[in-house]
C-alpha cells in the first residue's frame, strides 16, 4: 500500500463484506507500534486514531511520520484518523500535516449548528481526499475533554440522520445507540432496533464509538446490523498501564524505558489481536 489512505474505501469494503475496521486509539510510538505490527501480522485493515490531547502530546508531525513509516513497511491499508476533534481550524492544520481521515465532533451543538460546523470541515477535507466522520446524538462518558452525563445522552434519530448526511455530505456517521465512552457501570443496553432502522435508511458507513468494555457478542451483533468501524481506546490503556505497573513492582530500581515499556506492549498486543478477531477484519488483505 505504501502510503496513508483515507478511510473511504476500507469502510466501504467492510460494509460490503459485513465486517468492521478497528480504530485503535494510540498515544505514543509504542502504542502505535503495537496496533500496526499486530494488524499487519493478522492482515487486517487499520485505523490509527488520535484524540486532540494525543495529537498535542505527541506532535502531529511526529504522528504522521510514524504512521507513514508504518504504511511504507506494511502491506495493509492504514489510515491516520483525527478522533473527536472539535476545532475546524486545528483539523485543517492537521490535514495539511498529513492526517488522512478526521472526525469533527459537534454533537453537543443543536442540530443546525452541528450541520454548519461539519460542513466547513467537509468542504476543506474533501479538497484533499480526506474522509470526514461526524456524530449525531450524544454518548455518555468521557472522551478526552468531552464529557456527557447520563442525563444528557441522546440516541440518534434515523430521520434526522438522513437529513444530516444529505446536508453535510459526510463519509461516515458515528451513531448513539447506547454505548458509552470509558468503562460501564453495569452491562450496556444497546438499541439494536434503532441501529437496524439507521442501516435501512442510510447508505454511508456507520461507526460505533464507546466499544471498549462492551461484550464481544454485542459488538458482533452491531457489525451484523451494519456497523463498519469500531473504536477502541480504554480497553487498550488498562492492560498496558497495568503491565508497566506490575513491572515496576517487581523491578523497583528499573529505569530503562525499553525494559518497562515492553511488558505494556505485550499486554496491549493480546487485546489488539482479540479486538481484530471480534471485528472479523483479519485476513482481509
Catalytic residues: 83
What dihedral do alpha carbons 45, 52, 68, 258 form, nearest 10°? -90
Spatial distance between the Cα atoms of 182 and 150, rounded to a whole number of angstroms: 13
Provide CB contacts within 8 A for 162, sequence distance 6+: 201, 202
Question: How many residues make up the chain in this entry?
Answer: 285
Spatial distance between the Cα atoms of 72 and 218, rounded to a whole number of angstroms: 35
Spatial distance between the Cα atoms of 150 and 84, rounded to a whole number of angstroms: 19
Spatial distance between the Cα atoms of 105 and 86, rounded to a whole number of angstroms: 5
Give helix 88-97 / helix 60-73 axis angle, nearest 10°.
Answer: 40
Give helix 234-250 / helix 257-279 axis angle, nearest 10°.
Answer: 150
Which residues are part of a known binding site?
84, 105, 135, 181-182, 209-212, 231-234
Sign of CA dihedral 53, 104, 218, 189: positive
Spatial distance between the Cα atoms of 209 and 228, rounded to a whole number of angstroms: 11
Which residues are part of a known binding site for Zn(2+)?
84, 105, 135, 181, 209
227-232 and 21-25 as β-strands: parallel, antiparallel, unpaired?
parallel
Amino acid at each position: 500500500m505504501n502510503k496513508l489512505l483515507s478511510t473511504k474505501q476500507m469502510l466501504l469494503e467492510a460494509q460490503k463484506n459485513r465486517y468492521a475496521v478497528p480504530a485503535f486509539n494510540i498515544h505514543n510510538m509504542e502504542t502505535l507500534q503495537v496496533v500496526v505490527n499486530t494488524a499487519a501480522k493478522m492482515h487486517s485493515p487499520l485505523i490509527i486514531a488520535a484524540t486532540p490531547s494525543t495529537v498535542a502530546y505527541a506532535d502531529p508531525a511526529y504522528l504522521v511520520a510514524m504512521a507513514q513509516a508504518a504504511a511504507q513497511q506494511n502491506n495493509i491499508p492504514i489510515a491516520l484518523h483525527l478522533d473527536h476533534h472539535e476545532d475546524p481550524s486545528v483539523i485543517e492544520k492537521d490535514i495539511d500535516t498529513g492526517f488522512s481521515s478526521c472526525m469533527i465532533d459537534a454533537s453537543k451543538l443543536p442540530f443546525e449548528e452541528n450541520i454548519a460546523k461539519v460542513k466547513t470541515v467537509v468542504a476543506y477535507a474533501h479538497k484533499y481526499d480526506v474522509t470526514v466522520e461526524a456524530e449525531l446524538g450524544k454518548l455518555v462518558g468521557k472522551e478526552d475533554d468531552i464529557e456527557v452525563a447520563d442525563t444528557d445522552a441522546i440516541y440518534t434519530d434515523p430521520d434526522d440522520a438522513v437529513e444530516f448526511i444529505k446536508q453535510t455530505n459526510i463519509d461516515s456517521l458515528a451513531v448513539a445507540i447506547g454505548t458509552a465512552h470509558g468503562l460501564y457501570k453495569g452491562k450496556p443496553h444497546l438499541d439494536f432496533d434503532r441501529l437496524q432502522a439507521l442501516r435501512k435508511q442510510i447508505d454511508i458507513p456507520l461507526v460505533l464509538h464507546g466499544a471498549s468494555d462492551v461484550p464481544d457478542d454485542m459488538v458482533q451483533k452491531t457489525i451484523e446490523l451494519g456497523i463498519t468501524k469500531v473504536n477502541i481506546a480504554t480497553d487498550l490503556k488498562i492492560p498496558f498501564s497495568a503491565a508497566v505497573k506490575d513491572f515496576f513492582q517487581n523491578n523497583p530500581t528499573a529505569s530503562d524505558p525499553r525494559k518497562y515499556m515492553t511488558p505494556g506492549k505485550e499486554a496491549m498486543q493480546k487485546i489488539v489481536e482479540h479486538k481484530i478477531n471480534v471485528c472479523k477484519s483479519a485476513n482481509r488483505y
